[in-house]
Structure 1
Amino acid sequence: MSTKQSVGVQAAPPVPSSAERRRGDGRGFSSALRGGRVAGLDGLRTVAVMLVIVYHLEPEAVPGGSVAVDVFFTISGFVITRLLVTEYARTGHIGLLSFYRRRWLRLGPALLVMCAVTALLSVALPLPLFDGAWVAAALTAASVVNLVRAGESGPYSDLTAPLSHTWSLGVEEQFYLAWPLLLLVLLRHTTARAVLGWAAALCVLPVLWRMALWDPTAAHRIYNGPDTRADQLLVGALLALVLARLRADDPRLALLRRWSQRLCWPALALLGLIAWQVPITEPSGWNPVWYTVGMLAAAVLSAVVVAALDLCPRAWPSRLLSVPALAWAGRNLSYGMYLWHYPAIRLLSDLGVDGGRLLPAGVAATTAAALVSYVLVERPLLRRDRFRVRRLEPVAAAAR
């Protein structure tokens, strides 16, 4: 806001409108405006997706490699909530339809292409591991693979097997549907402190729910349910809200920065130890712990790493994970690599690639498929969407 001075007289500043006041304070979340892309998080995505690939190729080497999915959940909750709160802080509003449209353009087309290719393989080629894959492709396209798997108390059936890895995408997409609406209600009708309190309470509820559900026969229900995995996304969301609440000169932010930097390496080491030693998806003595409080513990460890990468870009973890090639792959290829790695592995197995050749061949095939997806599907749609937004900006500005 500008001020004009005459000789000895200062003009009174105009009284801001209610909409301008809401844009300025964001109900206590104006510091969200310092958000932006974090290269270290992109690098962490690359590491996580590579761990998932190795886990599916060599499960004996990393029996707990599925903890990488827990890391993905926390990153997703953090990034999505930061975007939503930043929009609210700037405009006093969250455009839900625009949010859902952007999410669809980012995730949907590439997913549908992968489903279509898998379905074609199932009907065109006599490949045993792709037999009936068109059913799995249909369930994946509808984002319900996790719900189907959650309803199977015994061993997983072959119904979703060709694309069983997409259960995690179902959990995320169901979270994306519910959380922005709930967050908007909280932001509009409560104080910033109350929003933080509600988010923290919501992080605890899935843990209590898992404790009530826990039984060895309920493992699939707990592992795949959007309600029983919600705390891992909500921990990331809570971190985004806390960082958005603290202004740059707040001493609590400095404290958080200092402790996240100190605890980052121990958190990474513990996550690595889980991947190396804890058989998460196999029957073991760890199951009662992991399927109740362990998932929240993994989310908290992931949140410590995320906080350090966001707040301490000059620290060594951030520098290592911000290496340009690693960050570029995480930003542009990690989603495609996750989509395509499981079909690629199954295809190579059907073609007789096994033993020590399967890991390098699987990584190479997955990376190639992700590059094709990025160049032909994802990047063109994202560029078109950005161009559309830039074209609309002058019109929106003139309408204010």
Structure 2
Amino acid sequence: MSASTGTNAGAAALGPRHPGIDLLRGLAIVLVVFNHIGLRIPLKKTVLADVLPTWLLSRLNYNGYEAVFVFFVISGFLIAGNALRRWGSLERIDTRAFYARRFARIVPCLLTLVAVLSLLHLLAVPDYTITRAGQSLPRAIIAALGLHLNWYEGQTGYLPGNWDVLWSLSIEEVFYFGFPLVCLLTRRLWLLVPLLVLLALSMPWTHAALRGNEIWQEKAYLPGMAAIAVGVLGALLASRWQAPHRTINLLGWLGALGLAAVMLDGAAIWHLLRDGYLLVLTVSTLCLLLASSPRPSRSHGRPMCGLGWLRSWGRLSYEIYLSHMFVVFAVVRLFKLSGADYRWGLPWYLLALPSCWLLGVAVERCLSTPCERWLRNRLTASRSTHPTTVELPVA
């Protein structure tokens, strides 16, 4: 999933953030957390069902998969956009610097998570022990670090929840392993863009073709990579197209309406378009990104009041994504031990959500930003950078 740097110091090192993108990323990570709590304490069984329709409560709980695709589009948009600002064009990507930045951003948290989960498995802690036939700790470690945990789950079944979240990271990082190489090999946008368009448009068909295996269909490489390709195409468009203000507003409204339609009534869109609903989701996300991304010709504008908390979730999205299942499992276990009725499940959400955010803050301040800064300095020390380059925080 998409990552962000988090602290003020880290953000300053990378350049200014944009509140619109952080807001969208914050919405996505909140939906992921709601999904993982809702699988265990459904909102439709709480007192909220007395005042809100159950279909709405169900949609609040079961948009986690769609939220990950939102992250994929944001990731492609930000990383390709940063590459364009840093090197001027995609065919001029410095592969060593690109891989160093991805390594510094992703690996510290990933290694720490795998180490902690391995220890909890060896201690036979409930909710963290790998017990499914055909699965083992060594193989799960290899799958997580070898970026094929999605394939491993597709072949053997779901891993415990904290391991399971790494499926999206496998898709994302395999894409970024090949991305600079493809850019250097094609060397021309008239070759690269058609490849990205074909990949993006393949999403409904590659998703539908895997219907025989529910887990693999959900977590296969190609549909997720197609969503990232949508984001990359958006970054290329944003770098070359100075849209008028009215067009920007139109894109924002179209994106908001499309995203709301998928999130609130995805079943209707599925009935109409089948697997094509994923294109509605990803293109709507791209419209919002194009409408909210910073441009030299216009100011960033003032952030919407009252949504600072959601933007902070967006800034911490990578850290919260990797760590939130620790909170979910703890809260759900306390819920069960307390003997509470599902009707009174809402207070447990109110406990879980700030706890996820606080854990994300701790991970960001104590681990991800210090390690990322140190590794970037070590890995890119011999490479000169462009002093006038301005970057958005990496995804």
- Give TM-score scaled by structure 1 length: 0.73
Deviation at 1:259, TM superposition (A): 2.4
Matches within 5 A, 1:29-178: 37-59=17-39, 60=42, 61=57, 62=60, 63-89=62-88, 93-124=92-123, 126-127=125-126, 129-132=127-130, 135=137, 136=140, 139-151=143-155, 157-178=157-178
Q: Percent identity?
A: 23
Does 118-127 or 87-96 show the bigger shift?
87-96
- Offset from partner CA, 1:1-42 (integer Å, 9 cap, x none): xxxxxxxxxxxxxxxxxxxxxxxxxxxxxxxxxx97433212
The letter of the residue matching 1:369 is L
Among candidates 219, 236, 242, match of residue 224 of structure 1: 219
Q: Is it true that 1:203 corresponds to 2:200 in the alignment? A: yes
Residue 356 of structure 2 aligns with which residue?
366
Q: In the alignment, is residue 254 of structure 1 matched against residue 243 of structure 2?
A: yes
Give the paired residue count.
339
* 1:319–1:111 Cα change, 3 Å: same
Measure, in 2, the Cα distance between the counterparts of 1:314 and 1:261.
14
Alignment of 1:267 with 2:255, yes or no, is yes
Moved more, 345-354 or 365-374: 345-354
| 2:31–2:67 CA contact under 8 A, matched in 1 | yes
CA–CA distance in structure 2, aligned partners of residues 78 and 396 of structure 1: 21
The structural deviation recorded for 1:161 is 4.4
Match of 1:383 among 373, 381, 386: 373
Q: 1:235-280 CA distances to partner (integer Å, 9 max, x unpaired)? A: 000011122233xxxxxx225x53242231342233234223436x
**How do 1:1-20 and structure 2 match up within 5 A?**
none
Aligned counterparts, 1:325-336, within 5 A: 326-331=310-315, 333-336=316-319
Letter of the 1:52 partner, please give it.
V
Which residue of the partner structure matches residue 304 of structure 2?
Answer: 320
User: Could you tell me which amino acid in structure 1 is paired with residue 20 of structure 2?
Assistant: G
| Long gaps (5+) in structure 1 | 1-34, 247-252
Give the corresponding residue for 1:13.
none
Is contact 1:74–1:234 with CA below 8 Å preserved after alignment?
A: yes
Q: 1:289 to 1:343 in 2, by over 3 A?
A: farther
Q: Look up the match of 2:11.
A: none
Q: Provide closer, same or farther for how the CA distance between residues 120 and 203 of structure 1 changes in structure 2, counting only shifts above 3 A.
A: same
Shift of 1:301: 0.5
Residues 173 and 321 of structure 1: CA distance in aligned 2, closer, same or farther (over 3 Å): farther
The 1:231/1:275 distance shift into structure 2, 3 A limit, reads same
Q: Tell me how large the CA RMSD over aligned residues is.
A: 3.4
Matched with 2:326 is: 343
One-letter amino acid of the structure 2 residue matched with residue 72 of structure 1 = F
1:234: Cα distance to partner?
Answer: 0.4
AA matched with 2:72: F
Which amino acid counterpart does residue 99 of structure 2 have in structure 1?
A: Y
Q: 1:310 aligns with which of 293, 317, 322?
A: 293
Is contact 1:271-1:298 (8 Å) kept?
A: yes
Q: Work out the CA distance in 1 between the residues paired with 2:84 and 2:179.
A: 12
Q: 1:293 & 1:107 partners in 2: Cα distance? A: 31
Displaced runs of 4 or more, over 4 A: 287-290, 311-316, 321-326, 351-354, 385-397
CA distance in 1 between counterparts of 2:184 and 2:305 reads 33
The normalised TM-score by structure 2 is 0.74
Contact 1:87 1:93 in 2 (8 A): no
**SS, match of residue 131 in structure 1:** coil
Structure 2 spans left out of the alignment, 5+ residues: 1-14, 43-56, 388-395
After superposition, the Cα gap between the structure-2 partners of 1:307 and 1:229, relative to the gap in structure 1 and judged at 3 Å, is same
TM-aligned CA distance change 1:321 to 1:102, over 3 Å: farther
Letter in structure 2 aligned against 1:275 = M
Distance change >3 Å, CA 57–CA 314, structure 1 → 2 = farther
For the structure 1 residues 321 and 262, does the alpha-carbon distance in structure 2 shift closer, same or farther, using more than 3 Å as the test? farther
* Residues 118-149 of structure 1 deviation map (CA, whole Å, 9 limit, x = unaligned): 2222233542x222287345533333221123
Is the Cα contact below 8 Å between 1:40 and 1:322 reproduced in 2? no
1:321 and 1:96 map into 2 onto residues whose CA distance is 40
Classify the secondary structure of the residue corresponding to 1:81: helix
User: Is structure 2 residue 291 aligned with structure 1 residue 295?
Assistant: no
